[in-house]
Amino acid sequence: MSDSSLTTTQSKVYIEILRHIRAYIAEKQLSYGDKIPSEREFAEKLKVGRSSVREALRALELLGMIETRRGEGTFLKDFREHSLIELLGTFILEDSKAVGDIIEMNSLLEHNALQLILKGDQERELKLLAAKLNNNSVTRYEFMKELILLTNNYLLFRIWSVLNEYVTFVCENDQEKVYPNSNLEMLVTALLKKEQKEVLAAYEAVSLK
């Protein structure tokens, strides 16, 4: 891989690094339990900064594809049972606009969750969430997780959780951002009032861009 192929945008840098790592694994016919090169070795081979390689390896570790053992190195994990993770992993490596599509899919899942809450009867839980917002600062991820759980739809929660392993990596600043509690409270209030237009407007204020 030439150095010039890694000089476009930061997102393309780590995607190219991830592609190279996957190609290396295929070329060497590595299987779970096998050791892969170190951060330093990949950086030297690709002629990129170690921080870029570190981010790529962190993404794979977040997805449960590799694990780092202190004093031993980095090894492949057996993720074959997690077919959704494998599907998303292949997608983000092969589609140049994967990051935008992932954010869009995340938004669709969260919109769907809000619709389910509007149709349901979670008044007590929403009031508890509102009280929590009055007393604590929460990140966007923590807040949305609470809302997704209120749908009582385990499959929706699992898909959202897996997708958010990627969202956390590509939109880390947004995910960890602590929004003004007033923005989050507006969304909870709109859900309690069951006003769909207000819900959508309030969600837009905290949606990933």
Could you tell me if 101 and 202 lie in one domain? yes
Could you tell me if 65 and 112 lie in one domain? no
Domain that holds residue 191: 97-206
The position carrying tokens 């990933």 is 208
Sheet architecture: strand order including 35-36: 35-36, 73-76, 66-69
Residue at a domain's end among 84, 106, 123: 84
Could you tell me if 35 and 104 lie in one domain? no
The domain spanning residue 160 has which CATH number?
1.20.120
Query: Is residue 89, in this structure, part of any structural domain at all?
Result: no
Query: Is residue 92, in this structure, part of any structural domain at all?
Result: no
What are the structure tokens assigned to 162, written together? 């897996």
Query: Is residue 90, in this structure, part of any structural domain at all?
Result: no
Could you tell me if 103 and 20 lie in one domain? no
Amino acid sitting at position 63:
L
**What are the phi and psi torsion angles at 118 (to 5°)?**
-60, -35
Could you tell me if 102 and 202 lie in one domain? yes
Taking only the tens of pLDDT, the chain with its 209 residues reads: 443 334 445 556 767 787 788 788 878 888 778 999 999 999 998 888 888 888 888 877 776 778 889 899 999 886 554 555 555 565 555 555 667 788 888 999 999 999 999 999 999 999 999 998 887 778 888 899 999 999 999 889 888 887 887 776 666 555 555 667 888 999 999 999 999 999 999 999 988 86
The position carrying tokens 């602590």 is 178
| pTM of the predicted protein model | 0.59
Q: Which residues of 147-177 are buried (b: 16+ CB within 10 A; e: fewer)?
A: bbbbbebeebbebbebbbbbbebbbeebbee
Query: Is residue 117, in this structure, part of any structural domain at all?
Result: yes
Give the DSSP H/E element, type plus range, for residue 191.
helix 181-193
Could you tell me if 15 and 57 lie in one domain? yes
Q: How far apart are CA 115 and CA 94, in angstroms?
A: 32
Could you tell me if 138 and 71 lie in one domain? no
Q: Please name which of 34, 168, 189 lies closest in space to residue 123, comparing C-alpha atoms.
A: 189
The position carrying tokens 């997690």 is 82
